[in-house]
Structure 1
Amino acid sequence: MSEMSVQTPAPFPRLNEPAPEFEAVTTHGVVRLSDFRDSWLILFSHPADFTPVCTTEFIAFAEIYPELQKRGVELLGLSIDSVYSHIAWLRNIEEKTGVKIPFPVIADLNKEVATKYGMIQPGASKTEAVRAVFIIDPKGILRAMIYYPLTTGRNMAEILRLIDALQTSDRHGVATPANWKPGDKVIVPAPQTMEMVEERMKAGFEMVDWYLAKKSLE
């Protein structure tokens, strides 16, 4: 019996590790991941140009772009289409809806970037990138990723909330509870020693129990 060759699966990106480097052609010219160093970046993929759900998402991303800019966040889209297709589609969106898309879109015809980021998932589609969102911090570290099915458009309020939560955690050394939004109380890191437990009990936090304490940042 002949030996069967074992194919090594393509590596997927992992949280809190460096995001995969790339150089790609976009609607704004050639870009590299390193171009976005020192700023936050949202890299997102869409299945295809000239499709209805993707069109609503691009309009929605354009609408929150000013809010992202206030937070020091750049946007970069991607699909497995040509740069000519991207340009035609973005012009069509502006013509039909009046919305100008202000951020670059990667033309990933060879699927190089999509493969590095695990955007090609045969169970969802053999030819298209899934709806994926990757949040990369100013040091080039992948901090969050979300995957959506082809049928479901993304929620922009949640993407903004996630950015706010990550930046709040970095700035104050805290965690954020379920459904947290700016202005809500945050979670104080859990104590690691008995002495730290005693200190926490005296600190004036909102105590649920020794391992769960909240405080206001205001």
Structure 2
Amino acid sequence: MKVKDRVAPLTESAGSGGAGSGGVPKPSLFESDGFQYYTVVDKDPLITPAEFSLRIGGLVEKSRTFTFADLQQLPRTRLVRDFQCVTGWRVKKVAWEGVLLRELLNAAGMQASAGALQFLSSDGAYTESLTVEQAMRDDVLVADSLFGQAITPRHGGPVRLFVGPMYGYKSLKWLKEIAATAEVKPGYWEVRGYDVDAWVGKSNGRSDLPT
């Protein structure tokens, strides 16, 4: 299947100290690919592609469930973007591949009363949110490939969210469920003081260059 490339201009980090960083756990390791690793639970979920399923429900016309194989049959998009963490580190030229979130939302059909999406992780603790308008962007991806390889559990695989223009905490790992809601429901870190609209360089008291 043909993959549509969406390669954004890549930038150097120009960040300064950010608000709310006091509540962030220290990373347990530094990955060789430049990513620092954070978790809010004791043990990562271990889900194989064969076991994976993603449910879309809530304020939709028809609830849908997608398997890993289903995602492979949908139009594919490749995004190359810098990945910026709100704590200050940045990984340049990260190549993600998957399905645009809006493809899945359109398949379920958004009800007129739906104004936001809530994302739930298989870790049982982490949640995130976007407005419907944000979710329909062409740089928001349900990703199953990182640097041309299957996404490992350590990186949130087999399937995770990638929100290109926002800080990394919006890119929920181990994606399990999407619920369409009337209003935004603040996510795990947002109820702990982080900004809900986490645009890189325009939120959380930081001045990073956009991704």
TM range (shorter): under 0.3
Higher percent of residues as strand: 2
- Whichever of the two has the greater Rg, that structure is 1
Which one scores higher on RCO, CA 8 angstroms, separation ≥ 6? 2
Higher percent of residues as helix: 1
- TM-score of the two chains, using structure 2 as the length reference: 0.24
- TM-score of the two chains, using structure 1 as the length reference: 0.24
